[in-house]
Amino acid sequence: MTIKKRNLVLLLIVTFLLGATIAAGSVLLVENGAMGGTVKVSKKNYEYYERLSKRYGKLDQLYDEVTGSFYKKPDEEKLATGMYKGLIAGLGDPYSAYMTKEEYTSWTDSTMGEFDGVGITFSTNKSGDYVVVNTIPDTPAEKAGLKAGDLLVAVDGKTYGTMDTFSAALKGKAGTKVTLTYERDGKEKDVIMKRATIINKTVDSKVLEDQIGYIKISAFEEHTADDFKSALEGLQKKKVKGLVIDLRQNGGGIVDAGLDVADKLLGEGTVTYLQDQHGKKQYLKSDAEKIDIPYVLLVDENTASTSEIIAAAVKDDGTNPIVGTTTFGKGIVQSTGELKDGSALKLTTMQYFSPKGNVINGKGVKPNYEVKNSKKDKDDKQLAKGLELLKAKQ
């Protein structure tokens, strides 16, 4: 006789109350109090179902109560999704999330650099608020006046408990409207935007005064490393004498893309090392090949995650200076795995450190030269300081 796992869990609960016969490494379970219907389970399986009962017995009781007593018939698929999301929400980590198949597809598309949405990059601050890191140029968000530092409150009047669900709510078919509630200077405002197809060009380059090259990296996505390499080669052909690499308002992204960029900037050695809850370390290294042009790294308080890996490694290397303000302080890494049904789990699995073992998470990377830009400044003081340092090396 076969019993479904869920029914067997319920059966085990009854068995614990009535007692069970254990012999020869197996368990004989009595169904409905009659010896005529029994299921023989191995001791190993019995122990497994015992753990299952202790862990999820209350959940099963709640499930039965909800499905049997709610004033209308619940959507069981939504209930299941809520259970999965609730489990991950219990971590209290805004960067970990269970994603449905649709949410995972949307998230994956955004890392490829093209998606339908409004063009906002955001993270969380120390209070757990969603804060705008930057807006992608020429997108609905930029045109609507959203700025770095704005707090994101709701989408179409609804709040969301994770960054991924908030981000998924902002996205949607190009041409559809969405209302975003945000807070600036303590006041909430609503703005209606029409979603568009966003093509996020993450690397931009040009030649500045005195033959100094400039590369701006706004995020680390699928093609960022290749685009950085192309931009670098283009500037080298123009015989630039120095290089400004601008990571300001870069909220991070794909770690591998950041490591490929770091590999161009650093000699042979450790770029960063990761450590899990068990203390196991994983070292990520660069090879001996690197650019032979002096450079300056620009950072600010919105330089986060993957960008901070590069900043920390450059600072520990000590050869090229960092200019700006202390970075955001997100020194943790998420691993994402797809489940059989197309849904996925994004989980914070490790913390990363600078090559010398300096903590980044919650602290950030302090620049060698602290220079602040204010809203009143017409000139970019941070860029000016970077150019000054490079000119001094010529």
**What's the confidence (pLDDT) of residue 52?**
85
Whose tokens are 């705008």? That residue is 132
Give the helix ranges, DSSP H, for the chain. Answer: 5-18, 43-69, 76-89, 101-111, 140-143, 163-170, 224-237, 255-265, 306-317, 381-393
Residues labelled catalytic: 305, 330, 334
Residue 289 DSSP SS3: coil
Q: Residues 6-17: pLDDT tens digits?
A: 444 444 443 343
Q: Quote the mean pLDDT of the chain.
A: 87
Q: What is the pTM of this model?
A: 0.72
What distance in Å separates the CA atoms of residue 75 and residue 59, rounded to the nearest whole number?
Answer: 17
Q: Is 372 helix (H, G, I), strand (E, B) or coil?
A: coil
The DSSP letter of residue 244 is E
Q: What is the pLDDT of residue 246?
A: 98
Helix, strand, coil proportions of the chain in percent (round to 5)? 35, 30, 35
How far does CA 120 lie from the centroid of its chain? 14
DSSP assignment of 73-122, as one string?
Answer: ---HHHHHHHHHHHHHHTT--TT-EEE-HHHHHHHHHHHTTEEEE--EEE
In the prediction, which pLDDT does 3 show? 37
Nearest to 246 by CA among 205, 297, 303: 297
Token pair belonging to 355: 């090559």
Query: In angstroms, rounded to a whole number, what is the distance separating the alpha carbons of residues 389 and 392?
Result: 5
Cβ distance 116 to 173 under 8 Å? yes
What superfamily in CATH does domain 203-393 come from?
Answer: 2-enoyl-CoA Hydratase; Chain A, domain 1 (3.90.226.10)
Q: Rounded distance, CA 368 to CA 299, Å?
A: 11
Do 355 and 269 touch, CB atoms closer than 8 A? yes
Pairing of strands 369-370, 322-324: parallel
Report the pLDDT value the prediction gives residue 122, as an integer from 0 to 100.
87
Measured CA to CA, the distance from residue 225 to residue 295 in angstroms comes to 17
Q: Report the alpha-carbon distance of residue 27 to residue 21 in Å, rounded.
A: 6
CB 212 within 8 A of CB 239: no
- Residue ranges in the chain modelled with pLDDT below 50: 1-36
- Domain borders along the chain are 5-70, 99-199, 203-393
**Token pair of 155, please?**
């989408």
CATH for 99-199, options being 2.30.42.10, 3.40.720.10, 3.40.1190.20, 1.10.540.10: 2.30.42.10
pLDDT at 279: 94
